[in-house]
């Protein structure tokens, strides 16, 4: 059976020593589970097996749930995707564009942005905020000079209060913490009982141990530490979530449905449509041309939807045009292809972000899933 090939690939992956534990679920909008399985161990001691209820820090995969929360607020008329967020989050009205920084004189040059910061720009990564490890180098120099290096992993929102580098929240609008809002409006709606920003508050909450590839992207895993601040000071909608393969799959399954338990059809369509301007799309193309991407190779055109990276064209034997996907610093991945009615999620815990070995496995599994649809 074709599904046995998926199991064999996952078994082989953990037996090779390249992975400790893997959770993988692929599903169809009809409700059929194409594949569901956990492989390997939860600890390097091999004392406990990996399960679909084993949690992990999913880092940037948190963003999809935040996008769902935002679209719910938009549906209720509490905020617009193109509203000026400075009226809700004052910091966003004060932030300026960093144009240069001299690390010798400690002098920075700023200018005022000419465009407002909106939810649409934040969700499509075109607001002007970037990670301090990304280019340009003067931002990283400014971060070091201001004692903020590594603060993006502190679990505090202050670690993200950086200057913009080009033109350009939920708690402020809902008057709830993000954990409270998501529990009431997302997790409880689809049965996500093992998802949280605060694993320290759970009495029994098995977590997959973090592994590190010390000798390059194709080296075996060795035990490592999770760099995310624990306990986290804030509920960060861009990176702070812990969840399980099973829980995340429940959320993806709801997003395959028109007028499902989380969003109306119009909101789902907004979530997955292309949003970048021609200028931003060209910037994305240039950015991708300087890196090697396994999941969506550089010769395929992409855009940003509110929910994730958007495939602008079909990828043969795999996902269709209009599919969206994302991953996290700890190397988990998800994908939604509403045209084919398919969604997949894979939970691993690997640092640094594994864009080679893990992504190769991810696309091999995706290819097998699509064969089962034929």
pLDDT tens profile 160-201: 444 333 333 678 888 899 999 999 999 999 999 999 999 999
Strands 342-347 and 21-28: antiparallel
Separation of alpha carbons 369 and 374, rounded Å: 9
Give the position of tokens 């300087």: 290
State pLDDT tens for residues 108-158. 666 666 578 888 888 876 644 454 445 456 555 555 656 655 545 444 444
Give how far the C-alpha of residue 21 lies from the chain's centroid of Cα atoms, to the nearest Å. Answer: 19
State the pLDDT at residue 151: 47
What percent of the chain has a predicted confidence (pLDDT) above 70?
82
Which residues have C-beta within 8 Å of that of residue 308, sequence separation ≥ 6?
Answer: 63, 64, 324, 325, 326, 334, 336
Separation of alpha carbons 288 and 297, rounded Å: 9
pTM of the predicted model as reported, rounded to 2 decimal places: 0.87
| pLDDT above 70: residue 238 | yes
Strands 33-40 and 21-28: antiparallel
State the pLDDT at residue 132: 43
Separation of alpha carbons 342 and 286, rounded Å: 30
pLDDT band at 286 (very low <50, low <70, confident <90, very high): confident
62-75 and 245-255 are packed helices; what angle lies between their axes, rounded to 10 degrees? 40
CA distances (Å), 286 to each of 6, 302, 320, 324, in order? 35, 12, 23, 20
Separation of alpha carbons 5 and 3, rounded Å: 5
Separation of alpha carbons 203 and 324, rounded Å: 35
Contact 193, 155 (CB under 8 A): no
Fold type of domain 2-61+176-373: Beta-lactamase (3.40.710)
CA atoms lying within 13 Å on the CB side of residue 218: 2
State the pLDDT at residue 124: 78
Q: Across residues 239-252, what is the average pLDDT? A: 96
Q: Across residues 355-372, what is the average pLDDT? A: 96
CA distances (Å), 4 to each of 11, 34, 35, 52, 57, in order? 10, 11, 9, 18, 28
Which range is most confident: 214-218, 279-283, 299-303? Answer: 299-303
State the pLDDT at residue 313: 96
Q: Residue 302 pairs with which residues in a beta bridge?
A: 311
State the pLDDT at residue 162: 43
The torsion angle over the Cα atoms of residues 270, 272, 276 and 281, rounded to 10 degrees, is: -170
**In the chain, what are the domain boundaries?**
2-61+176-373, 90-168
State pLDDT tens for residues 67-97. 999 999 999 999 899 988 888 777 777 676 6
Range of lowest pLDDT (51-55, 77-81, 96-100, 295-299):
96-100
């Amino acid at each position: 059976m074709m599904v046995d090939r998926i199991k064999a690939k996952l078994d082989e992956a953990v037996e090779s020593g390249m992975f400790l534990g893997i959770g993988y679920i692929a599903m169809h909008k009809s409700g059929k589970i194409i594949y569901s399985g956990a492989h390997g161990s939860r600890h390097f001691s091999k004392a406990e097996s990996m399960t679909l209820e084993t949690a992990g820090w999913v880092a940037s995969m948190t963003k999809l749930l935040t996008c769902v929360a935002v679209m719910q607020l938009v549906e209720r008329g509490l905020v617009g995707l193109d509203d000026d967020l400075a009226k809700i989050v004052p910091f966003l009205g004060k932030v300026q564009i960093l144009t240069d920084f001299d690390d010798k004189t400690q002098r920075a040059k700023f200018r005022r942005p000419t465009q407002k910061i909106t939810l649409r720009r934040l969700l499509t990564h075109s607001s002007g905020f970037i990670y301090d490890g990304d280019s340009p180098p003067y931002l990283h120099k400014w971060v070091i000079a201001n004692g903020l290096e590594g603060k993006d992993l502190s679990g505090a929102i202050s670690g993200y209060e950086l200057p913009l580098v080009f033109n350009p929240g939920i708690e402020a609008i809902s008057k709830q913490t993000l954990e409270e809002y998501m529990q009431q409006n997302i997790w409880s709606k689809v049965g996500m009982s093992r998802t949280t920003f605060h694993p320290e508050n759970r009495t029994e909450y098995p977590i997959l141990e973090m592994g590190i590839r010390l000798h390059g992207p194709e080296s075996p895993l060795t035990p490592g530490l999770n760099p995310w601040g624990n306990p986290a000071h804030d509920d960060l909608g861009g990176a702070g979530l812990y969840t399980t393969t099973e829980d995340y799959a429940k959320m993806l399954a709801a997003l395959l449905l028109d007028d499902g338990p989380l969003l109306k059809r119009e909101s789902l369509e907004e979530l997955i449509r292309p949003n970048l301007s021609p200028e931003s799309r060209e910037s994305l193309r240039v950015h991708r041309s300087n890196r090697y991407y396994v999941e969506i190779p550089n010769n395929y055109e992409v855009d940003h939807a509110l929910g994730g990276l958007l495939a602008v064209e079909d990828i043969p034997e795999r996902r269709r045009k209009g599919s969206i996907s994302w991953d996290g610093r700890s190397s988990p991945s998800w994908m939604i292809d509403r045209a084919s009615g398919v969604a997949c999620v894979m939970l691993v815990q690997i640092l640094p972000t594994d864009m080679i070995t893990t992504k190769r496995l991810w696309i091999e599994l995706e290819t097998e899933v699509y064969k089962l649809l034929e």
